[in-house]
C-alpha cells in the first residue's frame, strides 16, 4: 500500500568512515526544526544499516537529475557485495561535523548524528540530528533554485523517475 505515497523525492545516504558506502533512499522525512531532526527508514538487510549502527552517523546528500545513473546504481547494488565507489562517478569530500564524508556532486549534504533508532517492521527508522548542512549552487540560503536545478523524484517503485518543475504555483 505504500506505493500510494509516491512520487517521493530521492536522496543518497552516505554511511561508513573507513570505507564509505552510498545507498539510495526515498524514505527520508523532516522531523523537527529545533532541534534540527530528520528521519530515514533503512531496510534491516541493507549494508548501510550495519555501517550506521557501527558509526552512529550518516549524511543525507541531495542529488539532481544528472546523477540519476549513479542514484540507480547506489539503489540496486549492495555495498555488502561490491565496493560501490568503483561503480559510481561520485566524489567523497570531507564533512564538517561528522567523520562520514559528503558527496561533492550533490547540491546539499546534511550531516547527521543518530539520536534514536526505532524498529519499524522490516526497516529501522533512524532519527538524525543535523549537525551541519552544506549547499551547492542548487541552493541559496537553504532555498532550492528550482528554476535552474532539477531534483530527483521516484515516480513509483522500480526504474521510473520524474523530476521537479520550475513552475511556482501559489495557492
Ligand atoms: C530510488 C530508490 C529508492 C530507495 N529507497 C530506499 C529507502 O528509502 N530505504 C531503504 O532501505 N532502501 C531503499 N532503496 C533500496 C536500497 O537503496 C538498495 O537496497 C541498496 O542496494 C542498499 O545498498 P547497501 O546494501 O549498500 O546499503 C531504494 C532504492 C532505489 C532505487
- Mutate which of 22, 24, 61 for ligand 1? The one with the most ligand atoms within 8 Å of its CB, which is 24
Q: Give just the sign of the alpha carbon dihedral 119, 120, 122, 125.
A: negative
- How many angstroms separate the first and last alpha carbons of the chain? 29
168 falls within a domain: no
Q: Tell me, what's the pLDDT at 128?
A: 99
Q: How many domains does the chain have?
A: 1
- Mutate which of 23, 54, 69 for ligand 1? The one with the most ligand atoms within 8 Å of its CB, which is 23
Q: Please name the residues in contact with 108: beta carbons below 8 A apart, sequence gap of 6 or more.
A: 61, 62, 133, 134, 135, 136, 138, 139
116 falls within a domain: yes
Q: What percent of the chain has pLDDT above 70?
A: 100
106-122 pLDDT, tens digit per residue, is 999 999 999 999 999 99
Identify the residue whose C-alpha is closest to ligand 1 atom 16: 75
CA 168 to ligand 1 centroid distance, Å: 30
76 falls within a domain: yes
CA 50 to ligand 1 centroid distance, Å: 14
Q: Tell me, what's the pLDDT at 77?
A: 98
Average pLDDT over residues 45-53: 98
For residue 144 and ligand 1, the question of a CB distance below 6 A is answered with: no
Q: What is the pTM of this model?
A: 0.98
Q: What percent of the chain has pLDDT above 90?
A: 99
CATH number, domain of 103, equals: 2.30.110.10
95 falls within a domain: yes
169 falls within a domain: no
Confidence category of residue 25, pLDDT binned at 50, 70, 90: very high
Q: Please name the residues in contact with 6: beta carbons below 8 A apart, sequence gap of 6 or more.
A: 26, 154, 155, 156, 157
Confidence category of residue 143, pLDDT binned at 50, 70, 90: very high
171 falls within a domain: no
Q: Tell me, what's the pLDDT at 93?
A: 98
158 falls within a domain: yes
Q: Tell me, what's the pLDDT at 88?
A: 98
Average pLDDT over residues 97-102: 98
C-alpha–C-alpha distance, residues 25 and 63, integer Å = 11
Domain of 18, in residue numbers: 2-163
Amino acid at each position: 500500500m505504500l506505493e500510494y505515497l509516491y512520487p517521493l523525492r530521492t536522496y543518497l545516504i552516505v554511511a561508513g568512515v573507513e570505507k564509505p558506502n552510498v545507498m539510495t533512499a526515498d524514505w527520508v522525512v523532516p522531523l523537527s526544526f529545533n532541534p534540527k531532526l530528520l528521519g530515514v527508514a533503512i531496510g534491516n538487510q541493507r549494508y548501510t544499516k550495519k555501517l550506521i549502527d557501527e558509526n552512529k552517523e550518516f549524511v543525507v546528500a541531495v542529488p539532481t537529475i544528472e546523477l540519476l545513473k549513479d542514484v540507480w546504481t547506489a539503489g540496486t547494488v549492495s555495498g555488502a557485495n561490491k565496493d560501490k565507489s568503483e561503480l559510481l562517478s561520485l566524489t567523497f569530500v570531507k564533512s564538517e561535523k561528522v567523520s562520514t564524508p559528503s558527496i561533492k556532486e550533490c547540491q546539499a549534504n546534511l550531516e547527521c548524528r543518530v539520536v534514536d533508532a526505532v524498529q519499524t517492521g522490516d526497516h529501522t527508522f533512524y532519527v538524525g540530528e543535523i549537525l551541519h548542512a552544506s549547499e551547492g549552487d542548487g541552493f541559496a540560503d537553504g532555498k532550492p533554485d528550482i528554476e535552474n536545478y532539477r531534483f530527483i523524484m521516484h515516480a513509483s517503485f522500480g526504474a521510473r523517475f520524474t523530476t521537479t518543475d520550475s513552475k511556482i504555483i501559489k495557492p
